[in-house]
């Protein structure tokens, strides 16, 4: 059907002409609307299809040359099959396959790529990934990274591509470094997240077809099967035989169907479309609508787990959380866990208000045990700065500060040997202030337990401990004590190195007559037996020597009474 030039830009007339076309020609209009927007140049790869089925489209001004006019006597418009465009008046024309309306609520994606990109950036901040010469992540490093995050390669490889495109991870010195709290730059083309080829073209098609109303994925698949099999490639141009056998259901399942379903999944994860999902894939899609900003915060459990939902926490707050508490598992509901490494990274990033941040965003507050644990991790992870030429004072909470004249602190000159001494009194070891350098206190700690302070001195209480080299330790203790050591302390040190046991021998006290006590003790036989004297007349005699002593005394004329 021909159309006059004055009516060639009337959308109503053009729509009527398109609806009246035979099926094969109407299918070509569908294909051209799938390939690009009306008014844009048609790909040259469709030249043969246009030359075969495009006659009625030229006659009805549905197809136009790229040039707005041509001279009289020029080539017939059909000879412009490789250089034409679809009439801009067809914009908004419905496809020949009607779509069914759908009333549904959008589903959450399996995992939002913007949040996953923050997790990947936090992991690469902790451990940067080695890069190959072409700037890609090494395969073994990439597998290790995905394994640490949950072994979902599709999810985390997509997150890594998004993080690189958004500037959350950046290369430097042969490694890929993460910046989780950097402000992500917007992506100019979300379809570039796919690996090019048919999936990228499918993503661009989905973005063009998305409207305010739901579009069923099954409708798009049916449309591609019926009239749009050349939307993404030309079988002849790509080396495929232009035979009907190629366009069967199996061939579609191998090429277009996976590409379209992958594009729908990636665009939904990236927030470029709203989607209705079943347990496997996207069922319908539409343009994204605004979502309320999260205000609920997260839940902090006493064992250090943090549970947050993507609908209840702002992405700005999540960027800091991903560094502070490394990701453990989850998709829409995510679980993180506080750790010493996270606290160290938090301090390295310049944050000193970790507890204040947790208290602000935790709906369950900060449990007392976690409060103390975070303080301990902060204290152990804080870097110590050495200040020369100053005194340092330790506060009661463990913090250090530079001393002032009001502190009246003493200055230790480390160019000479410091004064060191301890005094033994009443069974305790006292180290006076001013004589208490670290080496004397460390030495005493090897033989005694700290007992606090008494007056102006540190106090230690001796106790038995194993000693590897007791003689060396005794020499050091004598040096600090200034002379002989108390018997108690020396015995404890020697016993710690090992000594023979004390023996108990059964003995009898023998009392000699005062008149002959001295000559008997000088007797050549009785004297050695009576060598252990208690007094001038009393001696200790082992029981097994009593018989010999009694016989000798009888020989000397001294009687025996008592123990037989």
User: H helices of 92-196, where?
Assistant: 113-126, 139-149, 153-166
Query: End-to-end distance of the chain based on CA atoms, in angstroms?
Result: 151
Q: Is residue 281 part of a domain?
A: yes
Residue 41 covered by a domain? yes
Q: Which helix (H) or strand (E) holds 329?
A: strand 327-330
Give the lowest-confidence range in 40-54, 98-112, 306-320, 517-531: 40-54
* Same domain flag for 305 and 338: yes
Q: Could you tell me the residue range of the domain that residue 526 belongs to?
A: 507-556
CA 319, CA 287: separation in Å to the nearest integer? 26
Are both 472 and 534 inside the same structural domain?
Answer: no
pLDDT for the residue 252:
62
> In total, how many domains does the chain have?
6
216 and 273 part of one domain: yes
Residue ending a domain, among 286, 308, 332, is: 286
Least confident interval from 281-290, 346-355, 376-385, 397-406: 397-406
The model carries a pTM of 0.63
Report the distance separating Cα 463 and Cα 448, nearest Å.
5
Task: Answer whether residue 75 shows pLDDT above 70.
Answer: no
Sign of CA dihedral 84, 87, 88, 94: negative
Query: Among 12-16, 233-237, 252-256, 351-355, where is mean pLDDT lowest?
Result: 233-237
Same domain, 62 and 10: yes
Computed over its alpha carbons, how large is the radius of gyration of the chain?
Answer: 47
- Is the backbone of residue 147 left (phi > 0), alpha (psi -120 to 50) or beta? alpha
Residue 386 included in any domain: no
Same domain, 280 and 201: yes
CB of 113 closer than 8 Å to CB of 184: no
Whether 156 and 227 share a structural domain:
no
Using pLDDT thresholds of 50, 70 and 90, give the confidence band for residue 188: confident
Q: Is residue 262 included in any domain, yes or no? A: yes
* pLDDT at 362 > cutoff 70: yes
Q: Identify whether residues 255 and 172 lie together within a single domain.
A: no
Burial of 440 (0-12, 13-18, 19+ CB in 10 A): buried
Q: Which of 402, 417, 413, 412 is nearest to 433 (CA)?
A: 412
For range 173-193, the mean pLDDT: 87
């Amino acid at each position: 059907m021909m159309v006059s030039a004055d009516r060639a830009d009337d959308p109503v007339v053009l729509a009527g002409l398109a609806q009246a076309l035979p099926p094969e020609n109407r299918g070509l209009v569908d294909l051209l609307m799938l390939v690009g927007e009306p008014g844009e140049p048609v790909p040259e790869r469709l030249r043969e299809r246009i030359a075969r089925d495009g006659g009625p489209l030229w006659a009805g001004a549905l197809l136009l040359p790229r040039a707005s006019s041509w001279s009289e006597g020029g080539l017939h418009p059909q000879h412009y099959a490789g250089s034409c465009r679809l009439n801009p008046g067809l914009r908004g024309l419905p496809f020949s396959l009607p779509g069914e309306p759908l009333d549904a609520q959008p589903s959450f994606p399996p995992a939002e790529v913007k949040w996953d990109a923050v997790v990947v950036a936090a992991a690469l901040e902790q451990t940067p990934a080695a890069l190959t010469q072409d700037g890609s992540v090494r395969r073994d490093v990439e597998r290790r990274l995905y394994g640490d995050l949950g072994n979902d390669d599709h999810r985390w490889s997509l997150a890594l591509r998004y993080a690189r495109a958004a500037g959350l991870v950046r290369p430097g010195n042969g490694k890929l470094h993460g910046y989780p709290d950097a402000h992500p730059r917007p992506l100019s083309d979300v379809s570039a997240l796919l690996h090019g080829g048919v999936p990228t073209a499918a993503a661009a098609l989905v973005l063009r077809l998305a409207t305010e109303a739901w579009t069923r994925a099954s409708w798009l698949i049916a449309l591609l099967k019926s009239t749009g099999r050349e939307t993404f490639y030309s079988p002849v141009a790509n080396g495929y035989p232009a035979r009907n056998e190629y366009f069967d259901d199996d061939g579609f399942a191998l090429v277009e169907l996976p590409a379209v379903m992958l594009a729908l999944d990636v665009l939904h994860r990236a927030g470029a479309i709203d989607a209705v999902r079943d347990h496997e894939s996207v069922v319908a899609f539409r343009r994204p609508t605004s979502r309320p900003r999260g205000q609920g915060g997260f839940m902090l459990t006493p064992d250090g787990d943090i549970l947050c939902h993507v609908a209840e926490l702002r992405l700005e707050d999540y960027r800091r959380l991903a560094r502070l508490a490394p990701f453990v598992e989850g998709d829409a509901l995510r679980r993180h866990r506080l750790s010493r490494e996270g606290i160290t990274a938090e301090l390295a990033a310049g944050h000193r208000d970790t507890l204040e941040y947790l208290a602000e965003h935790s709906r369950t507050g900060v449990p007392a045990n976690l409060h103390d644990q975070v303080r301990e991790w902060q204290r152990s992870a804080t870097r110590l700065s050495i200040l020369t030429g100053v005194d340092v004072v330790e506060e009661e909470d463990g913090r250090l500060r530079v001393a002032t004249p009001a502190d009246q602190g003493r200055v230790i000159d480390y160019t000479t040997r410091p004064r060191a001494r301890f005094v033994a009194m009443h069974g305790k070891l006292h180290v006076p202030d001013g004589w208490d350098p670290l080496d004397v206190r460390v030495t005493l700690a090897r033989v005694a337990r700290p007992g606090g302070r008494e007056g102006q001195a540190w106090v230690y209480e001796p106790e038995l401990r194993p000693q590897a080299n007791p003689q060396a330790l005794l020499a050091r203790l004598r040096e600090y004590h200034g002379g002989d050591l108390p018997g108690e302390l020396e015995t404890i040190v020697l016993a710690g190195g090992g000594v023979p046991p004390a023996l108990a021998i059964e003995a009898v006290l023998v009392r000699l007559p005062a008149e002959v006590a001295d000559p008997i003790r000088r007797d050549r036989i009785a004297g050695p037996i009576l060598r252990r004297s208690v007094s001038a007349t009393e001696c200790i005699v082992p029981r097994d020597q009593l018989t010999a002593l009694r016989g000798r005394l009888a020989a000397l004329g001294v009687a025996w009474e008592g123990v037989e």
